[in-house]
Amino acid sequence: MSAAPLFPGFDGLMTLSRREGVDIRPTLLRVLTDLYVQASAHSADEERQFVELASRLIDEVDDATRAAVRARLAIYPAAPRMILDKLGLRRTDPDLPMPAASAIAVPAPAAPPPRIPTEAELRMASSLSMRPNDAAEISDMFFAASASERALILHNLQNTPLKAAARIPAARAARAIHILEMAAYAEDTENFTTEVGEALILPSRIAEQVVNDQGGEPLACAMRALDVSSAAFQRILMFLDPEAGSSVNHVYRLSRLYDRLSERSALVMLAAWRGSTMAVTRAKYRSALYDDERQRARATPSQTRPAAQPGSVPAIRGHKSGS
């Protein structure tokens, strides 16, 4: 039996690094490193998975991302030796587990200042659309992650080049917030879910998954996409599900997450939820492609006309009687 992956769905997202249009390898490496340094020690399988994934990404990311990962692992006592060597880190004393960075090289002659990108170029760089399969991978990974992993994912979505969903119009958002608060006061989860789906243009399946999630992070993303105030979000948490709302730790944790959650992160996740719906729809109707119908038609045996049986053809009468 193979060991469970260090981060659910991470191997599936590695295909994004080899596709055109979207390059989120820097984000994947940052998330992977942040998750690894959270624990003080790791098993042999966890260390092996981290070395395999990080080694593939370190050589393919930009210098800024490599420097950030280097800084995180330089102060982490349980950093794998293979990754330390790949990043140019060394241990000064075998008895000291703390790695030390190598000597700083002499700076090269000053190069001409880089050209500042125009506003249009910056706008284009932040509008790379997600493919449906990629969006489904991100959505599934988010729902399968733990509370701390979800917080890291939302934090890293702030700086990804993925295209975010458009903002909900202010008038429509204000109307939706009023309906959501009334439904939460009445503990009417059904109408609350319906309004979330209509306001955010989500199918009922995704809307139910967002509202009924036990962790509450998907609901925080949905409310941030509607620009719900922090006070209103806390009221929704306390009244929509009285059992969960009676937990002080639950409400306090989600309130802190909501205050730090950016609008862009919520809108990128909203775009992933919408894109995952397209992936499910394509998979559902894949068998109805025209080429499959042609192959099915070729395999059908041709029908032959039955031969006439004796006595089945009526006699032909002549013009003269008795003939």
DSSP 78-113: T--HHHHHHHTEE-S-TT----EEPPPPPPPPPPPP
52 falls within a domain: yes
- Indicate the pLDDT class of residue 316, thresholds 50, 70 and 90: very low
Q: What's the pLDDT at 321?
A: 45
CA distance 249 to 254: 9
- Indicate the pLDDT class of residue 7, thresholds 50, 70 and 90: low
Range of 8-12, 117-121, 285-289, 310-314 with top mean pLDDT: 8-12
CA distance 98 to 234: 43
294: tokens are 């042609």
Closest CA to 236 of 178, 190, 174, 181: 181
CA distance 125 to 148: 29
Same domain, 96 and 188: no
144 falls within a domain: no
* Residue 307 near residue 166, CB atoms below 8 Å: no
Domain count, the chain: 2
Distance of CA 87 to the CA centre of its chain: 28
Same domain, 96 and 3: yes
What backbone torsions phi and psi does residue 45 show, to the nearest 5 degrees? -70, -40
63 falls within a domain: yes
Torsional class of 42: left (φ above 0), alpha (ψ -120 to 50), beta (otherwise): beta
313: tokens are 């053809």
Inform me whether the pLDDT recorded for 34 exceeds 80: yes
CB atoms within 10 A of CB 145: 20
- Indicate the pLDDT class of residue 98, thresholds 50, 70 and 90: low
CA distance 13 to 65: 18
CA distance 236 to 176: 13
CB atoms within 10 A of CB 187: 12
* Bridge partners of residue 90, in order along the sequence: 100
pLDDT digits (tens, 9 = 90+) for 191-204: 999 999 999 999 99
pLDDT digits (tens, 9 = 90+) for 247-264: 899 999 999 999 999 999
117 falls within a domain: no
Inform me whether the pLDDT recorded for 9 exceeds 60: no
Q: What's the pLDDT at 258?
A: 95
Lowest mean per-residue pLDDT among 117-121, 188-192, 258-262: 117-121
CB atoms within 10 A of CB 140: 17
- Indicate the pLDDT class of residue 120, thresholds 50, 70 and 90: very low
Inform me whether the pLDDT recorded for 220 exceeds 80: yes
Q: What's the pLDDT at 177?
A: 95
Average of per-residue pLDDT values in the chain? 77
- Indicate the pLDDT class of residue 122, thresholds 50, 70 and 90: very low
141 falls within a domain: no
Range of the domain at 259: 170-278
Collapse the DSSP code of 313 into the 3-class scheme (helix H, G, I; strand E, B; otherwise coil) and give the result.
Answer: coil
232 falls within a domain: yes
Same domain, 2 and 97: yes
Output the pTM of the full model: 0.52
Inform me whether the pLDDT recorded for 112 exceeds 90: no
208 falls within a domain: yes
319 falls within a domain: no
Same domain, 272 and 187: yes
